[in-house]
Amino acid sequence: METNIKINTDSLNMDFLEGIKKLFPHQEIQISIHPTDETDRILSSPKYANEILDRINEFEQKGEVKEVSAKDLI
């Protein structure tokens, strides 16, 4: 059996761990962790979202790509 779980790290607690132990009792398991699509996180910041939308509009109108460092967005 293979199970994929998408969960926010804020929700990780001992109940989560106990749930995994109940799903796979007395078994050796492998846990792989990687971030999911970061689009929601990026767009949740109004500053980032506006910057992205401005760049998309500028590209669509002028075909120009403007580079900026991450520090400029913070």
Domain assignment present for residue 45? The answer is yes
Question: Residue 38: which domain range?
Answer: 9-73
Domain assignment present for residue 54? The answer is yes
What pLDDT is recorded for position 25?
Answer: 95
Number of domains in the chain: 1
The HSE-up count of residue 30 (CA atoms within 13 Å, CB side) is 3
Domain assignment present for residue 31? The answer is yes
Higher-pLDDT residue of 14, 8: 14
**18-71: per-residue pLDDT in tens?**
999 999 999 999 988 887 777 777 778 888 888 888 888 888 888 877 777 767
The number of beta carbons lying within 10 Å of the beta carbon of residue 68 is 9
Domain assignment present for residue 1? The answer is no
Domain assignment present for residue 2? The answer is no
Domain assignment present for residue 58? The answer is yes
Domain assignment present for residue 3? The answer is no
Q: Name the nearest CA neighbour of 43 among 33, 56, 62, 61.
A: 56
What pLDDT is recorded for position 9?
Answer: 87
